[in-house]
């Protein structure tokens, strides 16, 4: 039986609403899990060619990819609906979790295969995860290999209000602001779907601007440089002048790089703004209105007031969203909100900010209150 809530107007939050975990990762156990969602031609193609799309951005055996105590006897984590809900919702106290599935579909060179596997992946998420627990929501994974087909996939899935975001990787083929991608933003804006940009690469280019690094630690650390370039691209190309209702959520980007980068971008904008006349206000203002950041991992110290100062420099308490990033190993124990983040912000990060960012979550609150 489908557990889809009905489309309708958002309602006010009930007293029992405990907030949203904005970044949780279900793991695709392997290509065989997607076979039932492919037609006969593609089923045969992936079996015969032994297609395997383990994400290279999160190699399963890397310590960063899953905390040891969350791994099963085969060393895998994030495979089980009950384990994911027990931890992210029950133990860490959220009412909802947004599933961001990181699987190698964005890495494919074949546009045709990317399109059918994105469809299969989204259908698998709906059937194997969303249908099994009414507290789960998800992002629509889109094939950026084809803008036209990415828009089709958004349209195909947007009728299901459990899909609350469009998911892309931080490092793709072209910068995200480029005009050729704008039909995707038009579709997202039309359906009330923020664009979630998650750490990860399609590996069309080296992950550093210097060339390929030797180690995974360099790859992972370089992600924030990719995010910086995406912020600059989305702002300077004028995406938000064209789509004033669009929000972009930077997921797993870290946080402390933002103020310094915005200061730099704003400084140079003042000097060369004639080049981009449609950027008619400081980039930091545009950032505060349109960008949000998940706060796991938080790349700052847990003690002292360093994070408080970063927030002061950001000039907004609306931008941070709570996330556990389960099962990625970013924290020990159960302190999924860093001790460096002041307690007065916790309610905003868990409830107010996610609800303001994801318009479709209003429906969910309605469903919860109705006892769904």
In the complex, the smallest distance separating the C-beta of residue 83 from Zn ion, rounded to whole angstroms, is 17
Q: Which is nearer to Zn ion, 237 or 325 (CB)?
A: 325
The stretch near Zn ion (CB under 5 A) out of 16-24, 26-34, 239-247, 273-281 is 16-24
Site map 236..255 versus Zn ion, x via CB under 5 A: ----------------x---
CA dist 88 and 289 (Å) reads: 28
Which positions from 316 through 335 interact with Zn ion, judged by CB under 5 A? 325
Site map 93..112 versus Zn ion, x via CB under 5 A: --------------------
CA dist 184 and 148 (Å) reads: 8
21 lies in the site for Zn ion, by CB under 5 A: no
Site map 127..166 versus Zn ion, x via CB under 5 A: ----------------------------------------
Q: Which is nearer to Zn ion, 296 or 364 (CB)?
A: 296
Selection from 224, 169, 146 nearest residue 56 by Cα: 169
Q: Which is nearer to Zn ion, 55 or 353 (CB)?
A: 55
Q: What letter does residue 368 receive in the DSSP assignment? A: H
CA dist 318 and 288 (Å) reads: 8
Residue 2: CB atoms within 10 Å:
10
CA dist 167 and 327 (Å) reads: 18
Cα–chain-centroid distance for residue 102? 9
Q: What letter does residue 208 receive in the DSSP assignment? A: B
Q: Which is nearer to Zn ion, 122 or 253 (CB)?
A: 253
In the complex, the smallest distance separating the C-beta of residue 167 from Zn ion, rounded to whole angstroms, is 10
Q: Which is nearer to Zn ion, 19 or 327 (CB)?
A: 327
Exactly one of 5, 22, 23, 222 binds Zn ion (CB under 5 A); which one? 23
Residue closest to Zn ion, measured at CB: 252
99 φ, ψ to 5°?
-85, 120
CA dist 344 and 223 (Å) reads: 29
Interstrand relation of 163-171 and 291-294 (parallel, antiparallel or unpaired): unpaired
In the complex, the smallest distance separating the C-beta of residue 100 from Zn ion, rounded to whole angstroms, is 6
Max intra-chain CA distance, the chain: 59
List interacting residues with Zn ion (CB under 5 A): 23, 252, 325
């Amino acid at each position: 039986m489908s557990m889809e809530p009905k489309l309708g107007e958002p309602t006010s939050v009930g007293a029992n609403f405990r907030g949203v975990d904005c970044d949780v990762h279900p793991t695709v156990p392997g290509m065989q899990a997607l076979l039932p969602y492919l037609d006969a031609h593609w089923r045969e193609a992936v079996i015969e060619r032994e297609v395997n799309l383990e994400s290279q951005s999160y190699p399963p055996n890397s310590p960063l990819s899953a905390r040891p105590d969350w791994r099963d006897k085969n060393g895998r984590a994030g495979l089980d609906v009950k384990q994911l809900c027990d931890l992210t919702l029950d133990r860490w106290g959220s009412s909802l979790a947004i599933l961001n599935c990181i699987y190698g579909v964005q890495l494919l060179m074949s546009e045709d295969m990317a399109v059918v596997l994105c469809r299969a992946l989204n259908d698998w998420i709906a059937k194997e995860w969303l249908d099994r627990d009414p507290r789960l929501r998800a992002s629509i994974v889109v094939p950026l290999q084809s803008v036209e087909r990415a828009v089709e996939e958004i349209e195909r899935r947007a009728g299901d209000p459990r899909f609350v975001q469009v998911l892309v990787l931080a490092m793709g083929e072209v910068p995200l602001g480029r005009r050729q991608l704008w039909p995707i933003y038009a579709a997202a804006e039309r359906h009330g779907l923020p664009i979630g940009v998650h750490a990860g690469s399609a590996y069309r280019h080296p992950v550093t601007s210097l060339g390929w690094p030797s180690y995974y630690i360099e790859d992972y650390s370089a992600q924030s440089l990719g995010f910086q370039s995406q912020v600059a691209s989305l702002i300077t190309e004028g995406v938000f002048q064209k789509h004033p209702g669009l929000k972009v959520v930077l997921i797993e980007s870290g946080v402390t790089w933002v103020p310094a980068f915005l200061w730099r971008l704003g400084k140079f904008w003042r000097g060369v703004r004639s080049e981009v006349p449609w950027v008619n206000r400081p980039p930091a203002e545009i950032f505060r209105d349109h960008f949000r950041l998940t706060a796991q991992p938080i790349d700052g110290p847990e003690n002292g007031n360093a994070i408080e100062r970063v927030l002061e420099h950001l000039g907004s308490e609306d931008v941070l969203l709570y996330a556990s990033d389960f099962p990625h190993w970013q924290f020990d124990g159960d302190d999924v909100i860093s001790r460096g983040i002041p307690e007065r912000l916790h309610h905003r990060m868990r409830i107010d900010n996610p609800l303001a960012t994801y318009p479709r979550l209003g429906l969910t609150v309605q469903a919860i209150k109705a006892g769904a």
